[in-house]
Each structure stands twice: as C-alpha cells, then as structure tokens.
Structure 1
Amino acid sequence: MIKQRAHWLSLGAFGFDLLAVAVAWMFAYIIRFNGPVPVGFWKGGLTALMWVIVVYGCMFRFYGLYRGMWVFASLPDLLRIAKAVFAGAILVMIGSALVRPAPVIPRSVLLVSPLLLFLTMGGARAIYRATKEFYLYGGLVGQGKPVVVLGAGNAAANLVRELKRSGQWRLMGLLDDDPLKVGREIYGYRVLGPISALHQITADLRVEHVIIAMPSAPVAAHRRIATMCVRAGVHAMVLPALTPLKDGQTMLSQVRQIDLEDLLGRDPVSIDTAHVSELLGGHVVLVTGAGGSIGAELCRQILQYAPAQLVALDISEFAIYKLEEELRVKFPEVEIVPLVGDVKDSLLLDLLFGRYRPYIVFHAAAYKHVPLMEQANAWQAVRNNVLGTYSVARAAIRHEVGRFVLISTDKAVNPTNVMGASKRLGEMVCSALQCETRHTQFETVRFGNVLGSAGSVIPKFQAQIAHGGPVTVTHPEITRFFMTIPEACLLVLQASSMGHGGEIFVLDMGQPVKIADLARDLIRLSGLSEEQIKIEFTGLRPGEKLYEELLADDETTTRTPFPKLRIARAREVPDTLLDHLLPWLMQRKIPSDDEVRRDLRQWIPEYRSPAKPGLRSVAN
C-alpha cells in the first residue's frame, strides 16, 4: 500500500513537471512576441512541443528528480533540477538546429523557456515545502522556551533548522565571535552579536537557555564559553562532537546539559594504541584495587585490548561483585577472574600469582582519603599503602612478572599528610626492588584528583547542594589538579608501555583549579545561586595543604614522545631502605598516629608536619 502511494505520488510529480514544460514553452512564445503569437509560429510551437516534452521527460528521469520527496526539497534537489533542465535545453537546441522546422523556433524561446521551467519547478517545490512545514509546525512558532544558539557554523545552521520545527524551543537568535557573521541571518534568524556579549543579550531578551553548537571548536574555547554561560547564570547545553546520526536521530537529540567536565575541559588524549595493544593483548593482566574508581576504569580500558585473562582483585566483596556484573556484559569474550582478598596477604598473593601467571600488574589498591587516614588510621594507611605495595611487588618478582605499575598520587610530593607520605614510601619500595631484579620492570605513575572518583570532593558538593547547602570548602585559596578518570587511565596504560624500569611518570594535570570556584560553578550548574546555597569555609583539615605539587623541589623531569607524560628523576633511595623498613612495618604493636608521623620522617625527610586547622567563615 505504501509503495503504491509512493508510486502514484512520483507519477503525479512527473506529470506536473511535464505540464510545467508545456506552460514554460508556450509562455516563452508569448514573451517573445510581447503578446498575441502569430498563427504560424503558434502552430509550429505546439508541433515542436510534442518532442520537447519527450526530451525533458527523459532528462528528468535520467537525473533522478523523483527519488526525493517535495516536503524535504533542498539544495541537492535544486541542483538536480538545474542539471536536468540545462541538459534538456541543450538537446532541444540541437534538435531545433537539426530539424529546422518551418517556421523556425525563435532563439529567444530556446533561451527563455528553460529559465521559466527552472523557476516553475524549483518554485513549486519550495512553495509546497513551506506550506507543508507551516501546516505541520506553524502552530508551534511563538511557543516553547526561548533559547539562543552559540556559534554560527554548519553545525549551528543544521541545529537552527531543527529548532524551527521544535515545539519545545523558541529560537531568539545566534551569537558568534566572527565579526563577518554578526548581523547576518541563518534561516531567518539573526546573529545578534559576539559570544562575549552573552550576559547582556540573554538579559535583554530574558533568555535562560543557550545551546553551544560549536562541536569542532578547540577544547579551550569550549571551556571558556561553558564557564561564561555558568557565570552568566543561564542553563547551558552543548552539542558534542558530531558522530554519524542513526536513522530517525536528530541533532537535537544529541544536545546534552553541560557538566563539570566541560568547565574543566581538557584536550583529548591520544595514545600509541599499537604499543599498548602489544603490551596487553593476549596476556594475563592483574589489577589490584579493581573495585575502586581508578581500578575499575583500568579494567574497562584494559579489556578493550583483548587480554587473555583479566584478574580483578579487591578487598571489597560488593565492589568486585558490581565490577564483575558490568564487565561480563560489556566484554563477554574475555575471561574475567573476580577475586576478593587483601593485598597484604602474601600467601594469597603467591597462590593467585602461581595459578594465573600474570604478565603485568597494575597496583591501584590504596587508602586515599587524606583526613580519614590522618586521624586514628595512620598505621592502617601505612600498612596498606606500603606493606601492601611491597607484598604485591615481591610476589611479582618471585613469579617473574614482566611489569609492575604502581598508581601513585601528587600528594606523594613533599607530603604533609600520612596518606601522601605512605604513597611516597610505596614509590621508594618499588625503586628499591627494581635494583634487585632484572625480570620485572617497575614503573610509577603520579597524578592528582580525578573527577567522580570515590571520596572526591565533587560528589560531596553535589550531595550538599541537593540538601540545600551549605557547601563546605576548607579554604578560599585551596587549589587542586583535576582530570577525568578515563583520561588518567589512558595515560597510565601509555606510561606502562613506555617504561624500562624504575621510572616515575608524571601526568600533565593542566592548570590547578580553585576549589571555591569549583563549588560556585557546581551551584550554578544546579540552577541555583550563591544566595540560595551558601559556601562555608571550614579551615584546613589535618594533613591538608593549600597547593598540590607534581614534582618534589629537587626533582627534575624529562620529556617523552607524549606531551601529557613526563618522567621524574626522583631522589635516590638508600640501599638499606628495605632492611630497616620491613621490621618496622611488621612490628607486633600498633603505634600511635604521632609515632607513625615521627617514624615516617626517618624514611622521608621532606615529609612535613600537617597543617593546623583554621579559618572558618561563610562566603557571601
């Protein structure tokens, strides 16, 4: 039934076009003689029209004028009409010269008739589409929420075309920084000014929503514009990098709300996938701390390189259960071994290393929460982060594992807290063990805070905003480095494929971000103001410092082929480190927090006393 209807519609369109040929042909005669046409020329014109219609009809079919629907007529259809009419006009001219009818066909008719025909066919389609769109969407004009589009390129133009048909949105105009576009129109909508005038224009037009339609713009430009939207107090959405649309999918369906990652936008990570695939593909990979944020993302990315087997170890039964459920669905072709256990358990480690024979180990298991580890849990932090690292590393050496990658932190640089000091001591343990083996290559990767990780400040702020505030920030000047979890894990994989043993890789964390600014942006992203959600400064917590560092004072770095990875040349580790450290870690009593901090200074001279709490105020 549908095919029959389409067939009749196609025949109807073809009939209309043939009628347009006849009308244009005879009207050209009327124009030629400026009114009544002499009888001889009129009869000659009608006689010639019979073969002229055949010629044009063949050209219309040849150029496929009836593949598309008039309601979607656009520039490609207009080009096809132009080609068909031009080709038909040439053939008619050639036929007229060969046949030489009496009386002759006037040359002006041969020139004017194709022009009239093109205008008739193209105009009819344009009028039909406009009428149909008004019938379908005209009632929606003036309805919907007012919105401004940022950008006036190809993506914005396509988005504007869809917004015209949307009952949800009412487009007020566009903004673009190109001065040549300001004042021009796209599908009838004006480019109102530069993006820098966003605050003023949205206030004047009383617009609360904007769509950033600049998918090909640099990351820095996206970050600047997203921040500008948040600071202007508008609800911002973004059209992300364009991907091929599926059947029935629209550009509007790809538009999403901007989030914190847009405000902290970083350039996409590009890694040597061939080298990483060679490292992981077909090998058994062990990830400790696999249930955590970093460990879980490492597992996801590792599985994309088709390892022979993934062994996922975590002390949390629920975390490893959730991870296994997710990974078995996403990667059913790879064998996943979920294991629950403590990284300090040497007997368990020997058992699983002997049974599964991993080629590479990613050691992500650690206690990371600074204030929690600083008070009442200092010894547990040291035992887990140092003895756990030693136990896994020693098992890797015993079983001749090819590579061992330690996930470390920027808090290990000039540490002011027990957590950071314990991670630095873990780095030193790996450096000491590297001197004892040639079979296992040890690498360390340091990076800062990751968005959305367990214990991150972001989920805490979001929960406080959801409860009506206040949002608590320790200090107005405190700053941190941030990167996304996928980005961090990609760089970990890249670093693991580059090391030759003993390196400490430092990730490019970009520019540090003020936590207070982060809190303000999150409040605005939630559609609220600082009058509604207060920011309260509570003072630095024990062990917390204002600024994080990625390198110790007397360390230097060397470049790598990847701009986001550098190699730190760390301090030399004493030859007797392990001889003195292991008895301390294995002592049969639990030292107090103060004793732990005192002893840590013996191993790490740069470790400083924790910051004193202070400063409590409310931001207005």
Structure 2
Amino acid sequence: MPRARKRLVFLATDTCLVLVSLYLAVILRFGYLMPLSYFATFGVLFPIMAVVAPFVVSALGIQRVKLHAIENDAVLRIALAAALLTFSAIAVVFLLDLPTPRSVPLIFGAVFFVASVTVRVVGLRVLQLFNDGAQDRLPVIIYGAGAAGIQLASALRQSVETRPVLFVDDNPNLHNVMIAGLNVYSPAQLSSLIPKYNVARVLLAIPSLDEKRREAVIKTLGDLPVEIQVLPSFIELMAGRGLETSLRSVSPDELLGRDKVDLEIPEIAKAYAGRVVMVTGAGGSIGSELCRQLINCSPARIVLFEQSEYALYAIDQDLTPRIKGRNISVVPRLGSVTNKQRVTDVVVEEGVEIILHAAAYKHVPLVEENEIEGATNNVIGTKTVADVADAQGIERFILVSTDKAVRPTNIMGATKRMAELVVQDVQTRAARTKYAMVRFGNVLGSSGSVLPLFARQIEQGGPVTVTHPDVTRFFMTIPEAARLVLLAGAYAEGGDVFVLDMGKPQRIIDIAHRMIQLSGRTVKDPDSGLGDIEIEITGLRPGEKLYEELLVDDTLSKTPHPKILRAEEMPLSEIAVASMLKNTQVAISAGDRAALRRVIADRVDGYHQQDLETIRA
C-alpha cells in the first residue's frame, strides 16, 4: 500500500478511536450504556471532537509513525495527543456549558491513549505473524541479545529474505527470558536448536567484542553446520570498514530507464531444439549468457569454443549442473577463431549445425592501443569462421556486432563494421548457410561496461569517473542481448542486420547518479562538498564518440517481433571486400598500424582517422 494511503488509514483509525473512546468514557462514568436522551444534552461533543481529532493527530504526526517504529518517542506522541484531546474536550464542555461530568474528558483521554497504543501493537503483531509464516524467508539465529542484537532483530523482521527465530547469549541471566519477542537460549544449546528451527545462518551481533574474543566465538560456531556472519564493530563502522557488504547490488534492469523487452517467444526454442550449436567466445559475457539461454531451447549439444582456458573452464563448470536431467551435452573446445584448421576440425567432429559467433575484442581503449590484434581477431577471425560455415554447409551463422560499428570513430567499432561487411559478402556466395548480424548497444553488466566499473568505484568510495557530461549510449541487459542473438537466428533469411528498439539513448552521467542512489549513497555536491560519492569528468578517451548510432542507412523493415527491426544496408562489392581483406592481412603481417588505419579509412564509411603522428610507434 502506498505510504500516503497508509497515513490516511492511520488518521481515520485514530479519528474513529476518539469517538469510541469518548463513548466508552461516558459508559465508564455512568456505569451503563448511554441512553439516547443524553445525546440531546451533550451529544454535540461527539461531532466537535470528530473534527478536532484529525487536526491534533496530524499536528503531532502520529499517522506518520510506522508500525515497525513503535517505541518511546511514538508512545510519547500518542500520550501528548491524548492530553491535547482531553483539554479540547474540557474546553468544548466549558465553552458550550454542556451538562457533562468533569471526569468524562479525563477518562476519555486515558481510554484513547490505551486504545491507540493497543491498536498499533496488535497491528504490528499481526504483520509479524504474517511475515513469520512466509515459507521462503530464511530462519536465522542472532548471537547476542544486547542492544545491537535487538536492533538487528527489529530490522530483520522487516526483511523479505530472513526472519529471526531466537537469540543465544553467553549471559546466564538472560537465558529463558523473552527479549524483543524472541526467546534467549544458551550457546551450548545451538547444536539442538539449529536442526529444530531449520537454521542455516547465525548472525554474531556483539559489536563490542574485542577481536580475540570474537575469534574464539567464531571458532566455536565453526563446528556447526551453519553460515556465520558478523556484525561490524562500532569502530569499524565509524572508520567506514565493513560497510561494503551492506551496499545493495544494483540490478541492471533498474538502470535501463525503460521497460524490459519481452523476447520470450516460441520461435526461439523451435529454432534450436535438437540442434548442435557452437558458440565462439563462449566464456565471454555475451557468449556465456548465450550458452545458459540455449539450455532452455533443448539443443542436442552445445559446443563451447574459447581461446581462454580459464574462461572455458568457468563456463563449462557453470553449465554442467544446469544440464542435469536434460538430454543435452556440453563440449568444451579450446581454440582461436583465427585458426582455420582448428575451427574446421571442431565443426566437423561435433557435427555443428548453427554457429553463434560472439568471439571478439570489444574494449574500445584497449583495441585502440592494440589495433593489429583487434583486426586479427575481429576481422580475420570472423572471415575464418564464416568461411568454415560455408564450406561445411552450416545451416545458420549469427554474428554478434555492436552499434559502435556504425560510422565508427574507433578501431574496435571499425573492425566490427569490417566483420559485418565480410559476413554480408560471404552470404552472396553461400550455397546453403544463412548469415545474419545482430547489432546492439552497450550491454549492462558485461565485462568492460559501466556497471561493474561504477560498482567497483562506488564500493571503493569514489570517485565515479565519467568521460563527458553529455556522452550518451543505448543500453540493454545481458539477457536481452543474448535473447536477441538467439531470436536473430530464428528470423534469419540471409544477410540480415537485426537491431533492437532500445528506446532513447541515456546519458552515462545519469546512469552514474542512479547507481550511486540505488547503492544507498548520495552524490557529492562539488560546491558544498556534501554527499558521499564524487563524480569526476575525465575527458573523452581516444576514439570515443559522444553518441552512438544503430543504423548506417535509415531504412528499416519489420520482423514478427515489434521491438526487433531488420536494417536494409547495402553491402560492399565482392571486389571491394576482397581488396579490404587483402590489404588488412598485409598490414597485419607487417605489423603496420598506420597501413591498417588507412585501410579502415578507405573502406569503413564514416570512420574518422586520427592523425597518424599521434599513433605510438
């Protein structure tokens, strides 16, 4: 229920309690139900108090006190309200000269105070019973029934993830005592209490413990089959240590600035069911998510092709438990996409039918500094895999591309545009294979994206670095990006370029503000110095654009999905692509960075070549 509506409910409840309390006061004074004849003499007191009550309650802010925050201050406010209402009733009786016994307003005030407090305590208890009955809340034991433990129990009662079930404490005077609604037990009873309450976590809530004593307690708890978490000491809290884990992780969906795109459609599962699918770059951000989502499409086999041994190991370990009980096999294969023989061997041995080509160097500043390797992997690697797909009669080949390929100002975007041109060219001669490209914007949460960078900077206390206050980007989540790639495979007709309608581009600095706020911090004001995290403008990096585009041309056609569009873009001629590839290979073989940039400037529309004198030798 919205907070404003809750306040209205409390205000209405207190107003009703005023009338009920006034009626009960009359009954208590006379000892029997008030006859209707009494209303003719001093019944006017009821409507007057009904009008006065909301003003008194609102003035003291009683309706704003949350149920979970009923404590001394709230009770004192209710007592003050009862006193003001009592004096108001006395004033009305005196001014109107009503034949009301003098004791009625006094009894009325006392009854209202008891009723108002009772209603809130009962309401809080009912809510706690509902929360405690939730099956998906993790039961926890709090070690320490002192002030910190009591505050922790109060906070956990409002949590949707956990619920406190009992206290344990070393103080024998507290044993078998109920504190904050929870029983207190001896630590010696933990071994029997843990299975009884199905507890998986013990929270050590004694911040005043010295380090030696804390280690001793943790060592004792270490023999029990539970997870142990420690509340930071007051010194650690004041020093800022121990707070990192309290920061809430920011969901990429919260940063999109738009609704998630629903890409759950039957065509995806049908396109991959029972097929052998190879994912190149399977250990990367997009590649690994592609593999995870492919499992739900029930392919016969997923071939993981990756040049990084650790990345391949990690995704293989991640997928192994996910395929249990499913008729799906996962085959990890080490190799580079630039090694034609290795790619051919894997495709032939595994009987690959569909290739999802996600292998690429994508970090703009790194590729800008290492353009030879970037072109080798992104251009020659794509050409190699695309040719193998054609030679082996692969059914479908999907290239994962980027919006940075459109009129690029950096080597990474330029090499991805060259990869698109290569795929379009191969399609013109392919006998069977359908080739398609998927172009999307920045993927939140992927390696090198702003999300992990900003999260790390916020965790370290700032500053959060933004290159320019006006720089904008299109954004999507990793699941959206992976789903779009799979869907492109289902819609591919040959030579397609698919783009996702991602709404309006967003300013990076707005993303930074949102992440800081969602992490429970505030942005530091540069003038006053107030706030937690500073945002620092560092200047545009080499090759970085203020804004990105999704289309080379403005021609779009629809697909069966309203948010997925097919771009109509003219490919280069076969001779032009062959010349581009030949000159690129010559530049790569010679290690000639300037020559490579000249090839890019000649063949990639919109590329802005930097002054060659600024390129480091």
Give yes or no for TM over 0.5. yes
Q: Secondary structure at the match of 1:504?
A: strand
Letter in structure 1 aligned against 2:522? S
Q: Is 1:285 the counterpart of 2:284 in the alignment?
A: no
Q: Aligned to 2:416, which of 411, 416, 423? A: 423
Q: 2:125 aligns with which of 137, 143, 166?
A: 137
User: Shift of residue 277 of structure 1?
Assistant: 2.0
CA distance in 1, matches of 2:555, 2:451: 32
Q: How far apart, in 1, do the equivalents of 2:396 and 2:498 lie?
A: 14
Query: How many aligned positions are there?
Result: 374
Query: Which residue number in structure 1 is paired with residue 231 of structure 2?
Result: none
1:436 aligns with 2:425: no
Matches of 2:489 and 2:609, distance apart in 1: 33
Alignment partners' CA distance in 1, 2:124 and 2:554: 68
Separation in 2, partners of 1:476, 1:132: 49
1:487, distance to aligned residue in structure 2 (A)? 1.2
Query: Corresponding residue for 1:602?
Result: 602
Instruction: Please name the residue that 1:276 is paired with.
Output: 268
Give the structure 2 partner of residue 341 of structure 1.
335
Q: How do 1:35-434 residues align onto structure 2 when only pairs under 5 Å count?
A: 134=122, 137=125, 167-168=154-155, 259-271=251-263, 273-332=265-324, 333=326, 334-375=328-369, 377-434=370-427
1:299-338 CA-partner distances (Å, limit 9, x unpaired): 0111111111100111111111011111010112310001
Instruction: Output the CA distance in 2 between the equivalents of 1:258 and 1:455.
Output: 16
Superimposed CA distance per residue, residues 423-449 of structure 1 (whole angstroms, 9 cap, x where no aligned partner): 000000011000111210000000011
Is the deviation greater in 594-603 or in 499-508? 594-603
Alignment of structure 1 residues 415-564 onto 2, 5 Å: 415-531=408-524, 532-552=532-552, 554-564=553-563
2: CA distance, partners of 1:284 / 1:267: 33
Deviations 1:317-367 (A, max 9, x none): 111101111101011231000111100000101111111121110000000
Q: List per-residue Cα deviations over 1:456-486 (Å, max 9, x = no partner).
A: 1111111112122111110000011111111
Cα deviation, residue 405, structure 1: 0.2
> Alpha-carbon deviation of 1:596?
1.9
Q: Secondary structure at the match of 1:589?
A: helix
TM-superposed deviation, 1:135: 11
- CA drift of 1:268 comes to 4.0
TM-score normalised by the chain length of structure 2:
0.57
Partners of 1:371 and 1:132 in 2: CA distance:
59
Tell whether the 8 Å contact from 1:272 to 1:494 is kept in structure 2 after alignment: no
Higher mean alpha-carbon deviation, 402-411 vs 601-610, is at 601-610
Give the Cα–Cα distance (whole angstroms) in 2 for the partners of residues 138 and 486 of structure 1: 40
What is the identity, as a one-letter code, of the residue corresponding to 2:565?
A: R
Answer whether contact 1:543 1:609 (CA < 8 A) is retained. no
The alpha carbon displacement at 1:563 in A equals 1.5
Closer/same/farther in 2, CA of residues 462 and 354 from structure 1, 3 Å limit: same
How far, CA to CA, are the matches of 1:595 and 1:380 in structure 2? 14
CA distance in structure 2 between the aligned counterparts of 1:280 and 1:367, rounded to whole angstroms? 27
In 1, the alpha carbon distance for the partners of 2:303 and 2:154 equals 51
What RMSD over aligned residues (CA atoms) do the two structures have, in Å?
2.8
User: How much has 1:270 moved relative to structure 2?
Assistant: 3.4
Letter paired with 1:462: A
How far off is 1:609 after superposition? 2.9
Match of 1:579 in 2: 578
The answer to whether the Cα contact below 8 Å between 2:304 and 2:332 also exists between their aligned partners in 1 is: yes
Q: Is the 8 A contact 2:255 2:511 kept in 1?
A: no
Instruction: Identify if the C-alpha distance between structure 1 residues 363 and 135 changes in structure 2 by more than 3 Å, giving closer, same or farther.
Output: closer
Stretches of structure 2 that go unaligned for 5 or more consecutive residues are 1-117, 130-152, 159-247, 525-531, 613-617
1:414–1:607 contact (8 Å) kept in structure 2: yes
> For the residues of structure 2 that align with 1:542 and 1:449, how far apart are their CA atoms?
18
Identify the residue that residue 245 of structure 1 maps to in structure 2. Answer: none
Conserved 8 A contact 1:285-1:358: yes
CA contact under 8 A between 1:543 and 1:611: conserved in structure 2?
Answer: no
Contact 1:279/1:497 (8 A) holds in 2:
yes
Distance change (3 Å), C-alpha of 1:138 and 1:308:
closer
Deviations 1:364-417 (A, max 9, x none): 000000111112x01111110010000001001111000000000000001111
Task: Describe the shift of the 1:262–1:283 C-alpha distance in structure 2 as closer, same or farther (beyond 3 A).
Answer: same
- Where structure 1 has 5 or more consecutive residues not aligned to the other structure, the ranges are 1-129, 142-165, 172-255, 613-620
**TM-score, normalization by structure 1:** 0.57
**Cα separation, 1, equivalents of 2:504 and 2:547:** 12
Q: Distance in 2 between matches of 1:575 and 1:447?
A: 26
- Aligned-residue offset at 1:575: 2.0
Q: CA deviation at 1:266?
A: 3.8
Q: For 2:555 and 2:124, locate their aligned partners in 1 and report how far apart those are by CA, in whole Å.
A: 67
Q: Judge conservation of contact 2:498–2:566 (CA < 8 Å) in 1.
A: yes
CA 1:136/1:273 → structure 2, altered by over 3 Å: closer, same or farther? closer
Q: Which runs of 4+ in 1 moved over 6 A?
A: 130-133, 138-141
Query: 1:138 deviation in Å?
Result: 8.4
Deviations for 1:14-34, whole angstroms, at most 9, x for unmatched residues? xxxxxxxxxxxxxxxxxxxxx
Cα offsets for 1:244-279 (capped at 9, x unmatched): xxxxxxxxxxxx976442242543433464322221
Q: 2: CA distance between counterparts of 1:527 and 1:573?
A: 51
Amino acid at match of 1:545: K
Residues 585 and 357 from structure 1, CA distance in 2 versus in 1: closer, same or farther, beyond 3 angstroms? Answer: farther
Q: How far 1:610 sits from its partner (Å)?
A: 5.1
Fraction of identical pairs, as percent = 44
